[in-house]
Amino acid sequence: MSSAQAAEPPPSTPAPAETHTARLEGASRLRIFAVILVVVLFAEIASLQYTMVASAARDISPSFPGVGADISWMVIIFGLVGGATTPLFGKMSDLWGKRLMMLIAGASFTVGTLICALTSSWAFFLVGRALEAVAITAPTVAYGLFRDILPRRYIPASIGVIATGLGMSALFAPLLGGWLLDHYSWRSLFWFMLIFVLVMLPLLVLVVPESPLRSDQRLDVAGALLLAVGVGLVLLYLSNGASWGWGRPTAWGWLVGGLLLLVAFVLVERRTSQPIMDLELLFSPRC
């Protein structure tokens, strides 16, 4: 080997490619606060609407003759569908995108609110309420979105704001709902929420970036159905137990059926290679 060749420096090792991320590390505070505000306002849609509509049950009931005590189903179905779809949307957000799933929840809420504002059919009204209930999943998905896109120093505070909200459902909703009922019909509540969500959807697209993080797993459809139906049946018993009678065999059937489905869910998830949720985190938590 010649001295010239020996003096040549070894070829440099190419630097690893920079991992793509949508984390807003270099963004201004105004930009970050705008993202947090839009996501938090969007996530409060379900709780804001729930507070306004639940207090208007006596005003809504006369519009559906013959419903009677079943008017409570307009609140019950909201909790049932929301509780059943939340874990499913949480998993789908990991697979297909968190902002995307928030937009889908918002679209479902939009369609459901429009149905409730226009229909005179009790059955269609409940369908509208079920579609609205999908928006309950927004705060859960928002937790993951904040974790993926915000600078790390903002994550704890922003998640705290998502958990507590801005007080709209506790302070703003009763005042606005009462004013609308005093001056207009109960349908004005749904028209207001329709306008609200139609404003928030474009803002979510324009202001909030999508998380680039994706899970390479497939959706566990069997596990999702077992979990959704099992949770739904248990919530149905808890919602109606007082009126049905907590100890009646017919009421217990809903609870037992839901619990059996949840047990089946655990058995299926422990055997599948790609579960909808990692049960080891529940049964063997790590410090």
Q: What is the pLDDT of residue 88?
A: 85
Which of 10-24, 32-46, 98-112, 223-237 is the most confident on average? Answer: 98-112
- Quick one: CATH architecture of 25-213? Up-down Bundle (1.20)
Mean pLDDT of 154-161: 87
Residue 163: pLDDT band with limits 50, 70, 90: confident
pLDDT value of position 194? 95
> Is a pLDDT exceeding 60 seen at residue 2?
no
* Helices first, then strands: H and E counts in the chain: 14, 0
- pLDDT score, position 202: 96
Question: How many Å apart are CA 6 and CA 2, to the nearest integer?
Answer: 6
Picking from 197, 233, 206, the residue whose alpha carbon sits closest to that of residue 41 is: 197
Residue with tokens 């302070």: 171
Distance CA 252, CA 244 (A): 10
pLDDT tens digits, one per residue of 50-63:
888 888 888 888 88
Residue at 20: amino acid letter: H
pLDDT band for position 76 (cuts 50, 70, 90):
confident
Q: Which two tokens stand for residue 276?
A: 């909808």
pLDDT at site 17: 37
* Residue 104, pLDDT above cutoff 90: yes
12 CB burial (10 A radius; 0-12, 13-18, 19+): exposed
Mean pLDDT of 102-120: 95
Closest Cα to residue 118, out of 60, 64, 187?
187
**Higher-confidence position of 53 and 12:** 53
Higher pLDDT, 67 or 45: 45
175-220: pLDDT as tens digits: 888 898 888 889 999 999 999 999 999 999 999 999 888 877 777 7
Coil vs helix vs strand at 53 = helix
pTM (two decimals)? 0.78
Please tell me which residue, 19 or 26, carries the higher pLDDT value.
26
By the 10 Å C-beta count (0-12 exposed, 13-18 middle, 19+ buried), 134 is classed as buried
| Other C-beta atoms lying within 10 Å of the C-beta of residue 287 | 2
